[in-house]
Amino acid sequence: MTSYTHSAGRAYRILIVDDNDGDILLLREALGSAGLLYKAITFTDGEKALRYVRDDIDPERPIDLVLLDMHLTRMEGTAILAAIRGNTTLKDTPVIVLSSAISKQDRERMGTYNVARHLVKPPELDEFLALGNTVREVLAEYSDEKG
């Protein structure tokens, strides 16, 4: 199986924020099954994720992609999204927003944050695993833009 790495030859650094660790596990399965070589930084707690984005991003070791659950416990994903866009290192980082259902209102709010994809978490295993391919596509799109 082909494995995909960053153009610098290193593993992709992917930030995953989701209060459901079942979904984090599934996302890792998906990333793995897409052949991505990656290092995941995961948060199930929105507050901690927010602090990490605000204070602990190392410009030397940037984040390549964010997988963000829209509806976190005690917090909306948009708060984290706003923090990401407000961080100089992360301001252009691709973000894939996931939610269990997307309302019209959600979609309108996403528009202002330059979100790479806004997807519903699929109820079928195969479809869920296919999210890994979507991540690969997005990574490719963004490296093309940079290159």
- If one asks whether residue 124 binds other proteins (CB under 8 A), the answer comes out as yes
Q: For the CB of residue 28, give the shortest distance to other proteins in the complex, in Å.
A: 12
Q: How far apart are CA 39 and CA 63, in angstroms?
A: 10
Which among 107, 119, 112 has a CA at the least distance from the CA of 86? 112
- If one asks whether residue 125 binds other proteins (CB under 8 A), the answer comes out as yes
Residues 15-34 contacting other proteins, CB under 8 A? 20, 22-23, 26, 29
- Residue 3 buriedness (CB in 10 A; 0-12 / 13-18 / 19+): exposed
CA distances from 62 to 71, 110, 120, 122, 137 (A): 25, 23, 27, 29, 19
| x-or-dash string of contact with other proteins, 31-70, rule CB under 8 A | ----------------------------------------
Residues 70-109 contacting other proteins, CB under 8 A? 100-101
Q: Given the rule CB under 8 A, which residues bind other proteins?
A: 20, 22-23, 26, 29, 100-101, 121, 123-125, 128
